[in-house]
Amino acid sequence: MRNVRFVYNGLAAKNPKLIGRKILDLPAPEYLARELKAFGTTDNQDMTKWTVELGDHLLFDRAGLGLLADSLATYMGLAAEIKFHLRLDPDTYRNYYCLQLDRHDEELSLPIVARRTGARFSGAATIVVNLPAIRTALDFPIALRQPENGSLPTALLLPMQSEFDLLFASQIALMTDLAIRVKKSPLTWVKAALSRRPGGFKKKASIFYRNIHPTADVHPTAVIEGSTIGPGARVGAHCVVRYSVIGENARLHDGAKVEFSVVGRHSWLMHDLVLYRSLVEDQVFLIHGPYQFSYFQSSSAAFATIMMDYRPDGSPIKVKTEQGLKSYYGPFLGSVLQSGSKTLGGSLVAPGRIVPGNTWLSCSPDAIHFVTGKESGIGHSRPVFPASVQQ
């Protein structure tokens, strides 16, 4: 037990934007409370050297809390108050934090303050925490983009400043949660050790892990790798679920493919749909697709929608945040469909857009197969979108 006590008042009470939002398949405050409990913070005042106040808009996991506690354990100064900055490698900045900072050589100020218990000294200091990450080479088709380096943080410490941050947090949490589950699964170790599949032991172990609830209905031809299937979920014939979480009573119809994604409770993914690196909350309906790098909030739906997730000209994707319009420098980013919104057949959504809640986004019938020219007596017609979608 470390001599650090974390104080966290809960997101839902202070940040209304997170009411009903999720990390993995849990409400965000419930997930954060679980991670705080799993870390093992102490409530024993006699053993507490530092009290750490976590900001109400901070997204974190037990690994992130461990980074903070370890940095305090090695601090040799006499300051009574400590603030934290996060140092990022260029690839982590580009893919997860560029909406938070204007330049990758800056350090991100975290909404965290540590105070020394019973301090006889005064003054404040700053600790710089290096965010660890797994770095990988990403190979792309040459017609799409040049190969580049990828980076996946192995701990979650992310202030929420836009709704896209929940999508980024989900990607980090998926893999940190899988790493914990694999460590607790001896059967997975045995399968990985005996496998002749190419790759290192860690990679094979992550692939062989699967946690299927006894009440789930998984077709014998479905492929489940590195994933969790919740109670009552149905996974149809020839589905592929890889490095993902499928929630309670979710339905994946025949041929659906889900990778690096979360599918919430009672959500439906129709036949042959492809879902990649996305976050899907409860009671969402998706058909056609593919849908990639996107965030579908509760009760939203997408019908035969083209959701662009990159710019062929290589320019940064523009994203609306609480600090105004920001540039996203990562290679791919889709859209956010807020609760109750629906994108209907023929719609095209540009990268980085936020479709407002309870909006029906559709293509104007007059904009399809219409006659041009003054002689026809028919003018040009364009679909009208809410201002928040146009950006």
Identify the residue with better confidence: 116 or 297: 297
pLDDT in tens, 191-205: 888 888 888 888 888
pLDDT in tens, 59-76: 999 999 999 999 998 988
Contacts of 167 (CB under 8 A, 6+ apart): 278, 279, 293, 294, 295, 336
pLDDT for residue 365: 65
pLDDT-based confidence at 378, cuts 50/70/90?
very low
CA atoms within 13 A on the CB side of 61: 21
Closest CA to 95 of 331, 317, 362: 331
Average pLDDT, the chain: 87
Q: Where are the domains of the chain?
A: 4-160, 179-378
pLDDT > 60? residue 333: yes
Q: How far, in Å, CA of 307 to CA of 305, rounded?
A: 6
pLDDT-based confidence at 184, cuts 50/70/90?
very high
Contact 189, 205 (CB under 8 A): yes
pLDDT for residue 116: 87
Contacts of 117 (CB under 8 A, 6+ apart): 45, 48, 49, 50, 51
pLDDT for residue 48: 66
pLDDT for residue 123: 86
Give the pTM. Answer: 0.89
pLDDT in tens, 258-303: 999 999 999 999 999 999 999 999 999 999 989 999 999 999 999 9
Domain at 179-378, CATH class: mainly beta
Exposure string (b/e) for 236-258, b if CB count within 10 Å is 16 or more?
beebbbbbbbbbbbbbbbebbbb
- pLDDT, mean of residues 228-251: 97
CA dihedral 190, 152, 295, 68 (to 10 degrees): 100
- pLDDT, mean of residues 23-37: 90
Start-to-end Cα distance in the chain: 49
Contacts of 99 (CB under 8 A, 6+ apart): 161, 162, 164, 165, 319, 321, 326, 328
Contacts of 240-244 with CB under 8 Å at 24 or more apart are 243/174, 243/175, 243/178, 243/206, 244/174
